[in-house]
Amino acid sequence: MQIVRPNVDRPLAARGPYDFVVVSNRLPVDRVTDDDGVQGWRRSPGGLVTALAPVMEGHDGAWVGWHGAPGETLEPFDNQNMHLVPVPLSEEEVELYYEGFANSTLWPLYHDVIAPPEFHRTWWDAYHQVNLRFGEAVAAVAAEGATVWVQDYQLQLVPQYLRELRPDLVIGFFNHIPFPSPEIFAQMPWRQSILEGLLGADLIGFQRPSDTANFLRCTRRFLGATVKARHVNLETASGGARRSSRAEPFPISIDVGRIQELAVRPDVIARAKQIREDLGNPKTILLGVDRLDYTKGITHRLKAYGELLHDGSLKVEDAALIQVASPSRERVESYRLLREEVDGMVGRINGQFDTMQNTAIRYLHHSYPVEEMVALYLAADVMLVTALRDGMNLVAKEYVASRVDSTGALVLSEFTGAADQLKAALQVNPHDIDGLKETIVKAVNLSRSESGRRMRSMRRQVLDHDVQRWSRDFLATLAQSAAKGGAHLP
Ligand code: G6P
């Protein structure tokens, strides 16, 4: 197989004007059509864009990413003070790079092989071709000495390609999902190339200290790198100068200000009340909010809930579970199968326990705007986060941020990154169905004083660590690592 290398003879004149460039698989905008049929772009709700937009505006910033439409090539455009550079993906690349290598190889491998990862050479070829295209797009717009921040597992080869194309750049990488242990990463046929790809960055950020430690162990084991105080030193291919990259945990967070603002808005509060009324004002509302993904432990949660109804610990007259499952990666086989399984479970549980007045599970296979999400958080007495593996889980942090009166109980899987920070949550091992059932019952019956104590403690943590602080910390550490000349050791 011929590995494509970047063309490093690019003339200097090809450099662009942007001194801060973010690159992610998706651009942070969604296509919208107004009432007159005119198409435009709307900034997507995520925390990442909220955190980075002010940095973009303060500097001369550009965002490079795919605009979401297969087979379509678009010119760069501006949106709300951000310069956006769309990277095209053909239909075939969406299948091989995005659905294939990113979401059927890396995603399951990095999430503890909950689903079996598939390894196909054609997928890998597409992955590095597409990564090279993203790298070239960044190299063409970044100014001399610019800072580039590469996001997530879809783009792990971009740091190295960029380093080769543009040695003048300061390069950061952040992995939003877990990084597996060497025992699991060992399965990856292209493990060395991926590690070398990441090591093109001056700073590599992870969610948890354990992800960071896994990565460092992988570089030692599979590249023979020397690791000292979270710095990885590697001989370059020529055997000459050594390069050093730093790896650190930076647990991501949410736009706390925005969530709190919505949580006190009268229309959002009224909507929360309406939701309770629509459900017949049950004593307890439980809530699950996830992308419909097998890492989220939705079936474990439903199993526990069904058993609680079956053994009478919960009654359909008193409790209602709202499960929002937003559609995701629907053309990938494992996601199709999961949907069938969840649809079937919900159907069986509702068929068995529904009455004319009450529904056991209100199952919503939709995405909702953030206003509706906050209304749901306000309506819910108990939030259920039962992921089998999750890089962070921002839903848990959003629930905490929205509970401005410090009421409500959070059941949180110990396999989420958020469990490191939300120590006062009711933590569970979602594989232990009996333990999960006991914890759900405990959450439903938690005294006002205990839930208040736990929620206040979690709120202190979340309010003090918003996503703006996360991006400031990362970028400050990146600037420091690059300024120390860590990138090029003699
Ligand atoms: C996770 C990943 C993101 C990804 C998102 C949605 O949060 O870390 O990189 O964008 O899921 O998945 P999608 O495949 O629709 O982009």
The full 3-state SS of the chain, as one line of letters, equals: CCCCCCCCCCCHHHCCCEEEEEEEEECCEEEEECCCCCEEEEECCCHHHHHHHHHHHHCCEEEEEECCCCCCCCCCEEECCEEEEECCCCHHHHHHHHHHHHHHHHHHHHCCCCCCCCCCHHHHHHHHHHHHHHHHHHHHHEEEEEEEEEECHHHCCHHHHHHHHCCCCEEEEECCCCCCCHHHHCCCCCHHHHHHHHCCCCEEEECCHHHHHHHHHHHHHHHCCEEECCEEEEECCCCCCEEEEEEEECCCCCCHHHHHHHHCCHHHHHHHHHHHHHCCCCCEEEEEEEECCHHHCHHHHHHHHHHHHHCCCCCCCCEEEEEEEECCCCCCHHHHHHHHHHHHHHHHHHHHHCCCCCCCEEEECCCCCHHHHHHHHHHCCEEEECCCCECCCHHHHHHHHHCCCCCCEEEEECCECHHHHCCCCEEECCCCHHHHHHHHHHHHCCCHHHHHHHHHHHHHHHHHCCHHHHHHHHHHHHHHHHHCCCCCEC
Cα 152 to middle of ligand 1, angstroms: 9
Separation of CA 173 and ligand 1 centre (Å): 16
Distance 336 CA to ligand 1 centre (A): 17
Taking the centre of ligand 1 as the mean of its atom positions, its distance from the CA of residue 53, in whole angstroms, is 19
Q: Which atom of ligand 1 is nearest to the CA of 102?
A: 14
- Domain shared by 79 and 101, yes or no: yes
241 and 297 in a single domain? The answer is no
Structure tokens at 202: 């001056």
Give the dihedral of Cα atoms 465, 466, 467, 473; nearest 10 deg.
Answer: -40
Residue 50 falls inside a structural domain? yes
Exposure b/e, 114-141, CB count within 10 A at least 16 = b: bbebeeeeebbbbbbebbbbbbbbbbbb
Residue 357 CA to ligand 1 center (angstroms) comes to: 38
Are 160 and 225 part of one and the same domain? yes
- Please tell me the total count of domains within the chain: 2
Residue nearest to atom 16 of ligand 1 (CA): 26
Residues 6+ apart with CB under 8 A from 300: 386, 388, 430, 431, 433, 436
Measure CA of the first residue to CA of the last residue in the chain; give whole Å.
34
Q: Which atom of ligand 1 is nearest to the CA of 98?
A: 14
Domain-embedded: residue 308: yes
- Between the CA of 177 and the centroid of ligand 1 the distance, in Å, is 9
292 CA to centre of ligand 1 in angstroms: 12
Query: Are 446 and 403 spatial neighbours (Cβ–Cβ below 8 Å)?
Result: no
Q: What is the pLDDT of residues 95-134, one digit of tens each?
A: 999 999 999 999 999 999 999 999 999 999 999 999 999 9
Q: What is the pTM of this model?
A: 0.95
Residue with the smallest CA separation from ligand 1 atom 11 is: 291
Query: Which residues face 426 on adjacent strands?
Result: 411
Q: Measure 180 CA to ligand 1 centroid, in angstroms.
A: 18
Nearest CA to ligand 1 atom 14: 329
Residue 123: domain span: 18-253+469-481
**CA quadruple 406, 49, 413, 207: dihedral positive or negative?**
negative
Q: Give mean pLDDT in consecutive 10-residue pieces for the chain, a chain of 490 residues.
A: 57 76 96 90 85 83 96 94 96 98 98 97 98 98 97 98 97 98 98 98 98 98 95 74 86 96 98 97 98 98 98 98 97 97 98 97 96 98 98 97 98 98 98 98 98 98 97 97 58
* Residue 96, domain member (yes or no): yes
Does 340 lie in the same domain as 398? Answer: yes
Claim to verify: residue 158 and residue 190 sit in the same structural domain: yes
* CATH number for the domain harbouring residue 189: 3.40.50.2000
Structural domain contains residue 266:
yes
Minimal-distance CA residue to ligand 1 atom 7: 176
77 located within any domain: yes
From the CA of 101, how far away is ligand 1's center (Å)?
14
300 lies in some domain? yes
Is the CB of residue 217 less than 8 Å from the CB of residue 206? no
Indicate whether 474 belongs to any domain.
yes
Q: Pick the atom of ligand 1 nearest to 153's CA.
A: 9
Distance 270 CA to ligand 1 centre (A): 31
The answer to whether 18 touches 143, Cβ cutoff 8 Å, is: yes
- 325 and 406 housed in the same domain: yes
| Contact in structure between 294 and 338 (CB atoms under 8 Å) | yes
At 489 the pLDDT is 35
Q: Are residues 285 and 151 in the same domain?
A: no
Residues flanking ligand 1, CB < 6 Å? 26, 152, 176-177, 328-329
Q: Can you name the residues that pair with 83 across neighbouring β-strands?
A: 62, 78
Q: Is the four-CA dihedral 160, 166, 170, 173 of positive or negative sign?
A: negative
State whether 263 and 242 are in the same domain: no
Ligand 1 atom 10: residue of nearest CA = 26
User: Per residue in 142-198, pLDDT tens?
Assistant: 999 999 999 999 999 999 999 999 999 999 999 999 999 999 999 999 999 999 999
Give the position, in ligand 1's atom list, of the atom nearest the Cα of 391.
8
d(CA 196, CA 188): 14
Which residue's CA lies nearest to atom 8 of ligand 1?
176
Question: By alpha-carbon position, which residue is closest to atom 9 of ligand 1?
Answer: 152
Q: Is the same domain home to 244 and 266?
A: no
Q: For ligand 1, what atom is nearest to the CA of residue 103?
A: 14
Strand order in the sheet with 319-326: 361-364, 319-326, 284-291, 382-385, 409-413, 426-428
In this structure, is residue 387 part of a structural domain? yes
Tell which one of 63, 176, 206 to mutate to probe ligand 1, the residue whose CB is within 8 A of the most ligand atoms: 176
Same domain, 450 and 303: yes
The Å distance, Cα 290 to ligand 1 centre, comes to: 12
Q: How far is the CA of 113 from the centre of ligand 1 (A)?
A: 17
Furthest CA-CA distance within the chain? 76
Instruction: Out of 67, 110, 152, give the residue to mutate to test ligand 1, the one with the largest number of ligand atoms within 8 Å of its CB.
Output: 152
Predicted local confidence at residue 3, as pLDDT: 53
388, 112 Cβ separation under 8 angstroms: yes
Q: Which of 27, 158, 291, 392 to mutate to test the pocket of ligand 1 (most atoms within 8 A of CB)?
A: 291
73 CB-contact burial (10 Å; exposed 0-12 / middle 13-18 / buried 19+): exposed
343 and 305 within one domain: yes
pLDDT tens digits along 163-178 = 999 999 999 999 999 9
Bridge partners (DSSP) listed for residue 247:
204
Check whether residue 40 and residue 171 sit in a common domain.
yes
